[in-house]
Every structure is written in C-alpha cells, then in structure tokens.
Structure 1
Amino acid sequence: MEGGGGSPCRTRALHRPSPSFRLRSPSLNIVRLRRVFDLFDHNGDGEITVDELALALDRLGLGVDPDELASTVAAYIPPGRAGLAFDDFEALHRSLGDTLFGAAAPGDERAAAVAEEEEQDMREAFRVFDEDGDGFISAAELQVVLAKLGLPEARNIARVHEMICSIDQDCDGRVDFREFKHMMQGISISSA
C-alpha cells in the first residue's frame, strides 16, 4: 500500500516503541526530555529546527524523510518562529507518546499502579546516584554522576556541595530518597 498517505509506513516504523520513550514519572520525563532537547538544539539558540531534528535523528540512525518530518513538526512550531521551543518539543513528544501508548485517563483504575510505577522509577533514578547503595547521595557520588553525564559542574566540588545543600532539607550533608523525590517533584511542578 505505497503512496497511500505514508501512515502505514510510519505505523510500521513505530510498531515497537522503546519502553523508555515515556517514563512513568513526569518529573523524570521532564529532566530527560530537557537533556534530549539540549542535545538536539545544535546551535544552542533555544529552538530545534526541522534541520536540527533531522540531523539528530540521522545521527541516531533513525533517518527520516525530511518532508514527512517537516509536515509532522510544523503543527507544533508557532507562527513566526523557526523551530520548536522546549514547550513545543514537549507537546510533540507527549502527542507521540499518546499516539504510541494511549493517553492516561485521569482517575482510571490504573492510577494506583501508575503511582507505584512512578515511585519505582524514582527509586531507580536514585540508585543511579547512590553508587555505594547506602541510601544517601553524597557530594562525591553526585560529582561522579555529573562527570559521567559530561556536565561542567562536575569539575568543581564546591559547586557540587552547593547542589547538595540546595536539596538537603535536614542539613546532614547528603541527600536521602525523600529529599531526592521532593526535588524531582519540584522539577515537574516548576516546568509545568
């Protein structure tokens, strides 16, 4: 069924989406999506153009038809702008997620399961930072993770200590799971 509108090809290409496309935790999604946005924004101007998006997808080995990509993305680019700002990129991502996985209806019987899965996602993310498994994130552990992510903050231990202090509610010099969860939920709220 070629030439019949391209949808069958797109559906086949998206037939088996990655389970990590949309994490169950909205705050983890925002953090991850912001990182992806920054990587795709090749020139750092705060917008992702169709060309930048095509280049990023090509580098990931996901070559797409430029015209099809442009028509899909165009609906999310506000008039007068050259590309997707972060909010536009997030809307596109959410729409693709809803198309692939279905929208979560508020108040459906899966709400408790979703909350439980979100908690598990948070704990998984916490374990990435808590390298020694003692239940706390120290400045040294945070510095290691920041270095692995290639973030410049990792080079300055004083900056890492400041980051810990900004999250450390009980002032013990380290971050426990409750403090980490509170921080992640704050990211979700402030970015909404």
Structure 2
Amino acid sequence: MCPLKTNDLHRIFHELDKNGDGLLSTVELNWLLESIGVHFSLEELESSVGKSCLSFDEFSLFYDSITKQSDDPSNKAVLADDEEGRNKEECDLFEAFKVFDSNGDGFISCEELQSLLSKLGLWDEKTGKDCRSMLCRYDTNLDGVVDFEEFKKMMLRTSL
C-alpha cells in the first residue's frame, strides 16, 4: 500500500466528514470502507473502532493500523497476485501524479499542467488549448484542480 501524506489524509477526512462537525461517524467511515469493497455492519465497525466517531488524529491512527497490517510480511503472503498487481499499478500512478503535482500539494492545477507540458515541448501558447478546459473534463468534484482519485480515473479510463 502506498502511504498517504498527512495533507492527503486531511483532505480525505474532510471529504468524508459530510456534516462538517470535525468528526468521522461510523456511518461516514462505513461509506468509505464499502466503496473499497470492505463490508461491516455499523455495529461491527463501531465495535472494531471502539467508538461512534473519530477525530482526525484517531482517523490517522486507524489509517496507520491498516497500513501496518498490509506491510506485515505474514499478511502479504495472503494477498492474491492480482491484488498485488493493482497495488503496484496504484503506486506507479501515484508516482506519475507526483510528476504533475510539482508543488506537492496533492492537486494538479492548470499552471502545473501547463508548466509540465511546456517542459516536454507539448505546449504552444498560440495553438494550445486552455489547461482549464483540459482539467475540467476530469475534475469531477468541480474544485478547479485534479486530485489523485480523479487522475487515477483519467489514467485508467478505457475506450469502449
């Protein structure tokens, strides 16, 4: 598993905290777990977490415990080959994302995209498209930048 930076965890925490109370309820946390294919009843989740809501620090500890479990050699032996392939693919995508995210803030801005395209010789100001329109196509939450999940969807998009 690719470890996330603290600013990434903060962003995820705030996205999950739908009611904005600064706490992640088991309902909000369960939504995340179900979206990645982990299914618990709310009672099971609350029992395993030990409380009904998590502060950011508690969420960070929860994330660390999951990361450490996946780094444990005895757990790695249980992983299927296709899951390991997906993890490597995600790590590779994250490395590519960091190339675009030149300031390391966890987002690809219009300016960062234009700068990289210029360095690669793929940007001509006279004939080039506006980077905003390029990013807009994949900016699903409409915040004006592309985050890692949006980047991943863009890179893994297949033509039908």
Q: Which has the higher contact order (CA 8 A, sep 6+)?
A: 1
Name which one, 1 or 2, has greater alpha-carbon Rg.
Answer: 1
TM-score (norm 2): 0.48
TM-score (norm 1): 0.42
